Amino acid sequence: MDYFDSAPASDSGLQNGNRMPDMELQAKFNEAIRQREEQEASKLAENKERAKEALENFEAERQTKLRESMQNNREAEQLLMEQLASDIESENPWDRIVSLVDLQTGMSDETLDVSRMRQVLIQLKNSPPSKADE
């Protein structure tokens, strides 16, 4: 009997035995990949939902701040208009000029010394020149 004439009986069993575990491993691997893809898809959907909610909250907050700012600006403008109207009606024109000039004494190094001009404006406001002096 020749050594090469017959095929060993255990060889076909090993091939089938090796293939079955390979197929099982492949199936487990595919299942693990599918589960990871499902987890990734669910996390992605969750993150998109949270991002959408965050954008909606941001937009709502921005609109609220915008409305408040517009209301504050309207009130400030109304106050300014009332003040300007009352200044126009004033008999002393220097009152109007003094109201338009910042007379705070705070000075910085970069500004010019305007203390004399401030004193003159305050003096003219308090005792305006008479019509005969002009």
Taking only the tens place, the pLDDT of each residue in 100-132 is: 776 666 655 566 777 788 888 888 888 877 766
Q: Taking the model in full, what pTM does it have?
A: 0.46
> Residue 79: which residues within 8 A CB-CB, separation 6 or more?
none
Residue-wise pLDDT for 34-46, tens only, equals: 999 999 999 999 9
pLDDT of residue 7: 57
